[in-house]
Amino acid sequence: MANLGFVGLGVMGGELVNRLISKGHTVTGYNRTKAKAEWLVKAGMKWADTPRAVAQSVDIIFSMVTNSAALEAIVEGPDGILAGLKPGQIYVDISTVSPEYSRQVAAKVRAKGADMLEAPVSGSVITLQQGNLSVMVGGRKETFEKVKPVLLDIGPKVTYVGDNGLALVLKVASNLSLAVQMLAFSEGVLLAEKSGISREIAVEVLTNSAIASPMIKYRGPFVLKLPAEAWFNVNMMQKDMLLALELGRKLNVPMPTTAISNEFLTAARGIGLVEQDFAVVFDVLAGMCGVKR
């Protein structure tokens, strides 16, 4: 069993730590808000007061934060991960951030004699709890092979993608489809509902039809009732959509459905729904056609 560190214990990061503990690993963790990590301490996680202290006390350091700015905040500075790294350590970032910035961090990690992988995951909290999470990995192949056994404890499908940054590109390519699918699903539900079919029946049929991707199966019912705590809120999803649009511009890839779906996320922000799960695009579309939740 491995001696692991984990920085960033939000909804998904916390669940990942809980899973790693359940697999028998020793985990030392840090979160900006300690209160949110108390349940993990009770589950057996050791607490560290800074990201630096995490890095100093473990062999492999994981992190999962919201965006590139948050990653910079935990990596840089006198209390950051870089300050605590030792030669031979491995740093694995699970965050979905700018591929370009992740490559910059990897270069700084290697300058310390350590190495860095990015390992974004595909799935939600429920996917993780069911043991169905998939992991994409970018970085040096030999470092990936060292960490692979631990990654397999996170999810059963672990795929090496290539050099640093490429797994993040694939994660962004995956995530843009989530918002597009959710918007299309909402269109179908509302078309049925305004024709006289109950929303419940429409959801039941569509989530068991040919269009029912794994995401639609678990998030489709959110058009009936949103979760008490967002699994992936509007702010987080729009961050990924903007990363996708930026990559599209750089690579000359037209992204019409991504652009349209992003505008619905902007509308959700505009009416105060930014902290809701991104499935709330249904409410935006419903409001446009006179339907109430």
Q: Does 157 lie in the same domain as 125? A: yes
Position 37 scores a pLDDT of 93
Structurally, the chain folds into a number of domains equal to 2
Question: Same domain, yes or no, for 231 and 183?
Answer: yes
- Whether 134 maps to a domain, the answer reads yes
Rounded to two decimals, what is the model's pTM? Answer: 0.89
| pLDDT for residue 293 | 77
Q: What is the pLDDT of residue 292?
A: 85
| 293: in domain | no
| Residues 14 and 153 placed together within one structural domain of the fold | yes
Q: Are residues 13 and 106 in the same domain?
A: yes
Residue ending a domain, among 144, 164, 184, is 164
Secondary structure string (H, E, C) spanning the chain: CCEEEEECCCHHHHHHHHHHHHCCCEEEEECCCHHHHHHHHHCCCEECCCHHHHHHHCCEEEECCCCHHHHHHHHCCCCCHHHHCCCCCEEEECCCCCHHHHHHHHHHHHHCCCEEEECCEECCHHHHHCCCCEEEEECCHHHHHHHHHHHHHHCCEEEEEECCCHHHHHHHHHHHHHHHHHHHHHHHHHHHHHCCCCHHHHHHHHCCCCCCCHHHHHHHHHHCCCCCCCCCEHHHHHHHHHHHHHHHHHHCCCCHHHHHHHHHHHHHHHCCCCCCEHHHHHHHHHHHCCCCC
Helix axes 281-288, 166-194, angle to 10 degrees: 40
- The CATH code of the domain that includes 202 is 1.10.1040.10
Are 115 and 246 contained in the same domain? no
Q: Do residues 152 and 198 both lie within one domain?
A: no
d(CA 95, CA 62): 10
pLDDT, residue 127, reads 80
Give me the domain span that covers residue 246.
169-288
- The series of mean pLDDT values per 10 residues for the chain, 293 residues long, is 94 93 96 93 96 97 96 96 97 96 98 97 83 93 97 94 97 95 98 97 97 93 92 94 96 98 98 96 96 85
Residues 176 and 117 in one domain: no
Summary mean pLDDT of the chain: 95
The pLDDT of residue 184 is 97
- Give tens-digit pLDDT for 164-180: 999 999 999 999 999 99
pLDDT in tens, 35-59: 999 999 999 999 999 999 999 999 9
Last residue in a domain, options 146, 164, 182:
164
Please check whether residues 231 and 153 belong to one and the same domain: no
Distance CA 188, CA 185 (A): 5
Asked whether residue 92 is domain-assigned, the answer is yes
Q: So what's the pLDDT on residue 23? A: 95
214 is a domain residue: yes
Residues 194 and 118 in one domain: no
